Amino acid sequence: MTGKRILVTGGAGFLGSHLCAHLLRTGCEVVCLDNFSTGCEQNLARLKSDRKFEIVRHDVIDPIRIQADQIYNLACPASPVHYQLNPIATIEANVLGARNMLRLAALTGARVLQASTSEVYGDPQMHPQVESYWGHVNPIGPRSCYDEGKRLAETLMMDYHRQQGVAVRIVRIFNTYGPGMAVDDGRVVSNLILQALRNEPLTLFGAGSQTRSFCYVTDLIEGVWKLMNAEGIDGPVNLGNPHEVTIRELAETIISLCGSRSAIVHRPLPHDDPARRRPDITLAMEQLNWRPAVSLTEGLLKTISYFDNLLSSQPMGEHSLAAQGIPEPLARAD
């Protein structure tokens, strides 16, 4: 990989910043493109001294000319609170962003990887979810800006591949967590950990019986990198940890690991919240020789340590929703 020039859109976000760091370790030149609407410059602080790293402040919905060998398109609000705050901007980031990166790839000959999501499966009627499953998605609900935006981005990827010969990769990312997550961004792992560390009630939707499968960030980034550099894979590939837990089990585990005095309280289920979510990763295991290595307990301990240190030094977090005047969300299952 030494000498390759890599463009990462959304590079200041949770996954993007981890990906930028990984690519720099492989010897690449990395250009991070971000409009910093949800990304955080603090995520990139440790990378700025690297001469092979460059930051470009730009919105992916606007065209741009950058020479690159590979393009990782991660730019889009990812937490439910952020992507529902401005749904029009969310779907534009998904659709126009994908189109602009594909046009750039067609112009430069770059390979482009689209960060898609398990949300393309909606509230699935098949369990676990395999890549051939078309999903069960509400096209007009409050989550549609994200769910359908990602589905359309996948469509654009495959059409540019078939019609113009652009080399594409599509990764369907299941719930990912780890150090670097934004404070109070509405994702269940960060919310529950923060509530437990503050000894506040842990809020669950419904009975907490809905399930998710949580993948530690280093495992996910390794899989994304392997997919980008694999040959002969054009269609979507699931990446996630197939270990499935209920949200209530997750909450109880976090309370225990934090040594918290928090109780659990319940709120009504939100609209279109999927009941079950677990990836079938057979394709990734066979084609990429990839499988997650970090257990949920190990990953949660590392994440708890990160948030504990963050709260000690900066109680509300530099990029928290509270700092933006957005009400603190409850711990939904995403």
Residue identified by tokens 């949660």 is: 300
CA 64, CA 73: separation in Å to the nearest integer?
Answer: 13
First to last CA, the chain: 34
Contact status, residue 235 vs residue 131, Cβ threshold 8 Å: yes
Side chain identity, residue 142: P
Phi, psi of 333, deg, nearest 5: -85, 0
Q: What's the full length of the chain, in residues?
A: 334
Contact status, residue 167 vs residue 161, Cβ threshold 8 Å: yes
177 is annotated as an active-site residue:
no
Phi, psi of 240, deg, nearest 5: 180, 175
CA 219, CA 225: separation in Å to the nearest integer?
Answer: 10
Cα Rg of the chain (Å, integer): 19
Helix (H, G, I), strand (E, B), or coil: what is residue 180? coil
Q: Which of these is catalytic: 83, 121, 146, 216?
A: 146
Side chain identity, residue 291: R
Residue identified by tokens 């690991």 is: 257
Tokens for 188, please give them. Answer: 């269940």
Which residues are marked as active site?
A: 146
